[in-house]
Structure 1
Amino acid sequence: MSQTVKAVIARAKGAPVEVVDIVVPDPGPGEAVVKIQACGVCHTDLHYREGGINDDFPFLLGHEAAGIVESVGEGVTEVAPGDYVVLNWRAVCGQCRACAKGKPWYCFATHNAQQKMTLADGDPDAGKELSPALGIGAFAEKTLVAAGQCTKVDPAAEPETAGLLGCGVMAGLGAAINTGNVGRGDSVAVIGCGGVGMASIVGSLLSGAHTIIAVDRDQRKLDQATELGATHTILAGADVDVVEKIREITGGHGADCVIDAVGRPETFTQAFQARDLAGTAVLVGVPTPDMTWEVPLLEVFGHGGAVKSSWYGDCLPSRDFPMLIDLYLQGRLPLDAFVTEKIGIGDVEAAFEKMHHGDVLRSVVMVD
């Protein structure tokens, strides 16, 4: 039987978010209903609200979440009611070309729940189908997802911390560990020290990097980056040549890996130019659809190395989430440092404003 629950939606482009009643159907084949305990407020949610992803309003926002599986549909074997899970937005198919090659983190046919959640009776748009952010929609008391979007982890990890692996923290960690292949003794530069950039710094430290350079325009973020493992910082500005500064710190060579956690043409150009010969430039910051990147082809040919994009940190949730939670519980991964504040379901709009001003790494919605 379907349920009516409270949730946060973006009804129209640029409009303030609203707390409304939505209808969550019973799970069908391959689906699960999850009772949400906590969900981080990510820049991607703000992009949805601003129409930066697509225009399929209304959006059911929220996607960095942890909670308890309440019920499952026919044929579900991955999880069972009562399981503690972190939600992910890449339920792999196991059958596509990438999966068949043993590279499921590149799955070309990831999927979400087939049924739609809708606005409840009494709403001006009652019955209208919702577009869940990244196929999740977790600023809600309960949500419907594909069962493959649920990854079981150790319940000893608090939901406000565990849920952050669902998007931004995993993207940053994976950009260093998986995409950038950062190794022992490497030098790494991270451009942009928001949540994703900070996670890239932590991932570089976990991977054994010797030199970790944090680049940002906000001294507060650089101070946090130092606490999380950065060995050097660069306060960017109009009069600062970031590329030259990175080269100076790395003996004139450039870094083995440069991670752009901003996602703008100018920052990715810096990443491309600041890497060592045969070094790697990684784009993990999300650009907008109108952005283009131009570089002389001879520079690509002459520089060598690799230019990569990192989609979700090239992670495989079933492999990476439990491992990272174990590292956290062992005291080796400082996930708690990413939780700036815990808020209520009605405080998402205020959290967006704090995010805009750079006042938080993550606000986390605690769902009663």
Structure 2
Amino acid sequence: MAQEVRGVIAGGKDEPVRTETILVPDPGPGEAVVEVRACGVCHTDLHYRQGGINDEFPFLLGHEAAGWVESVGEGVTEVVPGDFVILNWRAVCGQCRACRRGRPWYCFDTHNARQPMTLKDGTPLSPALGIGAFAEKTLVAAGQCTKVDAEVSPAVAGLLGCGVMAGIGAAINTGGVGRGDSVAVIGCGGVGDAAVAGARLAGAARIIAVDIDDRKLETALKIGATHSVNSRREDPVEAIRGLTGGFGADVVIEAVGRPETYEQAFYARDLAGTVVLVGVPTPEMKLELPLLDVFGRGGSLKSSWYGDCLPSRDFPMLIDLHRQGRLDLGAFVTETIGLDDVEQAFERMHAGDVLRSVVVF
């Protein structure tokens, strides 16, 4: 029997979000119902509200979440009721060409729950990234649940479900940052700061944070950056080169998702260095680079989707590092809020006043 719970809905493009009663069905084959304990307010949720992802309104927002498995459907073996889990938006299929080649983080046929959650009048909801966790409970594919140590606070664990994992993975998984490398991170929001943390974990010798906001640069330095560059006041390409012996960084991570900052990343890397795009562009954006420069500079131009992560491998590992004191996930939490405070959290995010607001149930 479907359960009635409270959830945050985006009803139309640029409309303020609202809290409504939603219906969560019993889990079907391969599905799980999760009692959400915490969910981060990610910029992707704001993109959904603004119509920047697609126009499949109404959306049930929220996706950076952790909680307890309440019930599972037929055939579920990944988790059992009572497991503490982090939700992910890429339940791998195990059968596509990427999975069969041993690269499930590139899975081409990821899936979500088949049944819809709905409003009380039967209107189906589109869950953000297939999760919809600004709700007391949510229905997901069982493969979207990754069991982790239950001793960790849900408010920090859930951040691995999107932004923090995307940034750490961009540095470690996609960028291949190694001991002694120089790394520049352009854009020091939640994802960019996570890339800083990832570069530090990997043993980078020099980590250069670039942003236009001194407050964000101060936070990046606390998280692990060794140098900062305010690109309003100085040319970031020249500044990065100046901090790397005139050569450029071994790895440059672009965490903004704009053509201008991508071009900066391209020219701020060393010859044969690596550029990683983890910032999310909008559909109309175009990039123009001299093809001769692309050829002549060598190296790699990579995109990082979800930090090229494999949740079953990466989430427990990063939780262990957090418990060991080697990864301070709590540093990413600016404030904890209630379910009715999401619209105000979007405003603070847009103003650059928070790194992460986290809804706690």
TM-score, normalised with respect to structure 2: 1.00
Distance 2:288 2:322 in 1: 40
What do you get for the CA RMSD once the two structures are aligned? 0.5
Deviation of the 1:78 alpha carbon: 0.0
1:321 aligned to 2:305? no
Distance 1:259 1:268 in 2: 9
Q: Which residue of 2 aligns with 1:227?
A: 222
Distance 2:73 2:81 in 1: 10
Q: Which residue of 1 aligns with 2:205?
A: 210
Deviation of the 1:241 alpha carbon: 1.2
Distance 1:142 1:223 in 2: 36
Q: Which residue of 2 aligns with 1:332?
A: 326
Q: Which residue of 1 aligns with 2:116?
A: 116
Letter in 2 for 1:54: N
Deviation of the 1:197 alpha carbon: 0.3
Distance 1:315 1:325 in 2: 14
Deviation of the 1:240 alpha carbon: 2.1
Q: Which residue of 2 aligns with 1:292?
A: 286
Distance 1:228 1:5 in 2: 37
Q: Which residue of 2 aligns with 1:123?
A: none
Q: Which residue of 1 aligns with 2:345?
A: 351
Q: Which residue of 1 aligns with 2:138?
A: 143
1:3-14 to 2 correspondences below 5 Å:
3-14=3-14
Q: 191, 194, 197: which one pairs with 1:199?
A: 194
Counterpart of 2:13 in 1: which secondary structure? Answer: coil
Comparing 79-88 and 240-249, the one that deviates more: 240-249
Q: Which residue of 2 aligns with 1:266?
A: 260
Deviation of the 1:236 alpha carbon: 1.0
Counterpart of 1:129 in 2: which secondary structure? Answer: coil
1:1-368 to 2 correspondences below 5 Å:
1-120=1-120, 126-237=121-232, 240-367=234-361
Distance 2:224 2:92 in 1: 33
Counterpart of 2:8 in 1: which secondary structure? Answer: strand
Deviation of the 1:262 alpha carbon: 0.3
Distance 2:235 2:63 in 1: 36
Letter in 1 for 2:45: D
- Give runs of ≥4 in structure 1 deviating > 2 Å: none
Distance 1:154 1:293 in 2: 43
TM-score, normalised with respect to structure 1: 0.98
Distance 1:3 1:202 in 2: 40
Letter in 1 for 2:138: T
Counterpart of 1:34 in 2: which secondary structure? Answer: strand
Distance 2:134 2:251 in 1: 35
Distance 1:28 1:224 in 2: 44
Distance 2:235 2:210 in 1: 11
Distance 1:306 1:236 in 2: 24
Distance 1:159 1:337 in 2: 14
Distance 1:223 1:67 in 2: 32
Distance 1:148 1:252 in 2: 47
Counterpart of 2:347 in 1: which secondary structure? Answer: helix
Letter in 2 for 1:59: F
Deviation of the 1:57 alpha carbon: 0.0
Deviation of the 1:28 alpha carbon: 0.3
Distance 1:106 1:322 in 2: 19
- Unaligned 5+ segments in structure 2 are none
Aligned residues: 361
Letter in 1 for 2:14: G
Letter in 1 for 2:300: A
Deviation of the 1:277 alpha carbon: 0.4
Counterpart of 1:27 in 2: which secondary structure? Answer: coil
Distance 1:286 1:39 in 2: 20
- Unaligned 5+ segments in structure 1 are 121-125
Distance 1:228 1:118 in 2: 40
- Residue deviations 1:288-319 (CA, integer Å, cap 9, x gap): 01001110110110000000000000000000
Letter in 1 for 2:344: A
- Residue deviations 1:237-262 (CA, integer Å, cap 9, x gap): 1x521101100000000000000000
